[in-house]
Chains A and B, each alone.
Chain A
Amino acid sequence: DAMVIQNPRYQVTQFGKPVTLSCSQTLNHNVMYWYQQKSSQAPKLLFHYYDKDFNNEADTPDNFQSRRPNTSFCFLDIRSPGLGDAAMYLCATSRDPIATEAFFGQGTRLTVV
């Protein structure tokens, strides 16, 4: 049974058109993460929520926003996608921030045209 579910798996959006990626979890984990992974690169953390506490990485562009309306759901909003934002976006969860396994979703591959 899928525990971290990302929708959609593939998303095509137009340059400059806002897009939202979604993530849900059935694990009741406290922490939810969003990573950006460009082709042949390591996943790069954009931000994470520890419960309702939002933590933004210093180098995450302002173009990227996130919402966590409840424990189960987390959204990634890209306000004005550029060609450079085309990537795989990975959502992950963990029970606690320290020493516990992170569970990843299947990812959403975003294409910007």
Chain B
Amino acid sequence: AQSVTQLGSHVSVSEGALVLLRCNYSSSVPPYLFWYVQYPNQGLQLLLKYTSAATLVKGINGFEAEFKKSETSFHLTKPSAHMSDAAEYFCAVQRGGSQGNLIFGKGTKLSVKP
């Protein structure tokens, strides 16, 4: 069965600092992996996705993630945090087979200090 684990329920960085949000996955088949962002009282917006093409995936708002099979990881990074990046971030793996819906991690809340 597929699952994801997000390390750290809350991450705080200073504006301009590196953002690193960690996600490890478990999957018996090559996974499809996603990062979503959620602002308060909003739905989820896709940041980026990995679907077995390039291992380094670039997304919106300057975010990127690297798929590392040897580490079963798909960490999200951004070189320089902006105040507007403060939100909750969810890593998700797509359930295999024909029922390919998303299984989400518990989320990491990112705070950005001035």
Contact = CB atoms under 8 A, between A and B. Distances in A.
Interface string A90-111: 1010001111011111110100
Contacts of B32: 98-99
Interface string B11-47: 0000000000000000000001010100001111110
Interface residues of A, number: 28
B50 to A, nearest CB: 10
A99 B94 contact: yes
What range describes how many residues of B lie at the interface? 20 to 34
B99 A99 contact: no
B44 A104 contact: yes
B106 A48 contact: no
Nearest to B36: A104
A99 B100 contact: yes
B49 interface: yes
Nearest to A107: B43
Contacts of A109: 41
Contacts of A6: 43
Nearest to A55: B99
B74 interface: no
A102 B43 contact: no
A102 to B, nearest CB: 6
Contact of B101 (A33, A41, A88, A106): A33
A109 B40 CA distance: 11
Nearest to B98: A97
A104 B43 contact: yes
A43 interface: yes
B49 A101 contact: yes
B100 A42 contact: no
A45 interface: yes
A4 interface: yes
What are the 9 A-B residue pairs with the smallest beta carbon separation, nearest first?
A: A104-B43, A97-B100, A42-B104, A98-B100, A104-B44, A99-B51, A106-B43, A99-B32, A107-B43
